[in-house]
Amino acid sequence: MKRRKNGEGSFEHLPDGRVRMRKQHGNLPNGRPQILTVTGKSETDCLKMMKKKEAEYENCYNKEKIAKTMTLAELCYAHLDFHVGETNRLKPKSRDRREGTIRNQIEKYPIGRMQAFSLTGDEIYNHIVMLINLGTLSISSVEKTYNVINSAYKWAVAKKYYKENPCLEMADEIKDIFKKLETKNSSDGFVTILSDDQIESLKQYSESLGDKCWHQRMMPLSSVVLLEAGLREGEFCALRRRDCYSSGEKYLIDINKTRNIIENRDKKDEDTSFVANENEVKNWHNRTIILNHDATVALSEMLRISPLTDPDDYVLLNRRKKPSNPSNFDKNIKTLFRRIGFPDEISGAHILRRTCATQMYDNGCSIEDIAAYLGDTPETILKHYISLTKKIVVGNSIKNAVNYPTKK
């Protein structure tokens, strides 16, 4: 074996004509020397390969060293940056939501400033219990917090920054907590929807504005479309005139985009904190749906009175003739409900989607057909959208009467 001068490694010429090079590069944690090995066509080839391997080893060592000094919040942010930069797996809106989870449920608390490398399962468990006991967050928000922490540790272990994921120590206990809370807070069929009288009031109010200007009619008409078609707010905000068309006696719309507002990360325009963004439909549930009569009439009227008529123009406009966004649209729907006189529990545009699902169910549609029409999973439809009750006014009170069960 040929040794180089000054401890710069050694060469071994193999029987097949190749050359193997060994070189010490620092020490292992147990004090023994760290030996790097490469095999090449020649000594010169080995030197080049060894130089590259040393650089890779040093880079990996530095990353591991940095990872061991990271706080939990920094680790979660690093995991987020990895998905945004290298894998590009997160949509812009999803990135904003995860950033919000890290910022509001991790970074602002003591656990967020603790070294991730030294955290224990008990400390993570206690943090989750503390968030639940605050009573200011939904179960899903707390569960997302745990999932963000757990995913960050899984990533760090896969990258070999850490040997173990502390979340695994108390994983079963934390899952049991969420399961019990979910059962305790289960609606048991009491999903809030519009009553038959409220549905009729909404439609009558929309019809009563026939002589008003276009922007006063836009919101009531759009509420009827959502009530009958079950679109998500983002899907409706992304709908363009070219997506709406007739086919024989049927009226169809193509749902292939969702529109939302995201944090502006373009440094060229620092005056705007948030910008509009269009992306794929949630869970890639693109679909073409056939509208019923009421939805067809309402949507056709929206297109007729709209001041913008180009095929690329948006269907849903605000009074400034600009495309609406889900948050503003939701606020306008709340204002519409108050104007009609609905009680406070009737709030937000999503109740229209739930009402649509329940009406379809009451009319004999299967859960699978409803899920396909609304672009969701059967499990989600059954759990969060179908109300097994009807609101009935008795005297001065409102009661929930369970529907007579029918075979679907």
Residue 367, helix vs strand vs coil? helix
Cβ(276)–Cβ(261) below 8 Å? yes
Q: Where are the domains of the chain?
A: 2-67, 72-184, 196-402
Cβ(40)–Cβ(21) below 8 Å? yes
pTM across the whole model: 0.66
pLDDT number for residue 269: 54
CB burial class (10 A; 0-12, 13-18, 19+) of residue 102?
Answer: buried
pLDDT number for residue 401: 57
pLDDT confidence tier of residue 185, bands split at 50, 70 and 90: low
Cβ(86)–Cβ(60) below 8 Å? no
pLDDT number for residue 83: 82
Which of 51-60, 93-102, 124-133, 206-215 has the weakest average pLDDT?
Answer: 51-60
- Quick check: 182 pLDDT over 80? no
Backbone angles phi, psi at 217, to 5 degrees: -90, -20
CB burial class (10 A; 0-12, 13-18, 19+) of residue 116?
Answer: buried
* Fold agreement (72-184, 196-402): no
- Quick check: 179 pLDDT over 50? yes
In CATH, 196-402 is 3.90.320.10: no
Tokens of 348: 């937000």
- Quick check: 407 pLDDT over 50? no
Q: What is the mean pLDDT of residues 204-228?
A: 95
pLDDT confidence tier of residue 187, bands split at 50, 70 and 90: very low
Percent of the chain scoring above 70 in pLDDT: 85
How many CA atoms within 13 Å lie on the side-chain side of 126? 9
Whole-number CA gyration radius for the chain = 29
- Quick check: 391 pLDDT over 70? no
Q: Which CATH architecture has domain 72-184?
A: Orthogonal Bundle (1.10)
pLDDT number for residue 408: 44
Residue 405, helix vs strand vs coil? coil
Tokens of 225: 């479309």
Most confident segment among 92-101, 140-149, 186-195, 275-284? 140-149
pLDDT number for residue 395: 63
Residue 261, helix vs strand vs coil? strand
pLDDT number for residue 384: 83
pLDDT number for residue 163: 85
* Angle formed at CA 97 by CA 94 and CA 101, multiple of 5 degrees: 135
Which of 137-146, 239-248, 379-388 has the weakest average pLDDT?
Answer: 379-388
To the nearest 10°, report the CA torsion of 358, 364, 365, 368: 90
User: What is Dmax (Cα atoms) for the chain?
Assistant: 100
| pLDDT (tens digit per residue) in 103-141 | 999 999 999 999 998 999 999 999 999 999 998 888 889
- Quick check: 52 pLDDT over 80? yes
Q: What is the mean pLDDT of residues 28-47?
A: 84
Percent of the chain scoring above 90 in pLDDT: 56
pLDDT number for residue 190: 65
Cβ(260)–Cβ(234) below 8 Å? yes
pLDDT higher for 34 or 73?
73
